[in-house]
Amino acid sequence: MTIQLANQKKFIIQAPRNSPENVYIQDLKWNGKTWNKNYILHKQLQEGGSFTFTMSNKANKTRGIGVAAEPFSMTKAQ
């Protein structure tokens, strides 16, 4: 899927092996580099680029599990 952004850049999402059986993310690449986070920043979307998902029928229990992979809040806790 390619999304043409207002700034003329493109945001591309690829998951070539996605299927009813392959519902688990084995690997995720952002512009060809491994992406272990479980979120994307709005700035990244604006700059354009590509996400490539490697899908499988088995869960990857080591991907995206560290503290650095967790989404964060831009609001301060009270």
Q: Domain 2-62, what fold?
A: GH92 mannosidase fold (3.30.2080)
Size of the chain, expressed as the number of residues it contains: 78
Residues 23-74 pLDDT 10s: 999 999 999 999 999 998 888 889 999 999 999 999 999 998 988 888 877 6
Distance CA 46, CA 34 (A): 20
Structure tokens at 17: 């092996």
How many whole angstroms from its chain centre is CA 67? 16
State pTM to two decimals: 0.81
Would you kindly state where each structural domain of the chain is located, as residue ranges?
2-62
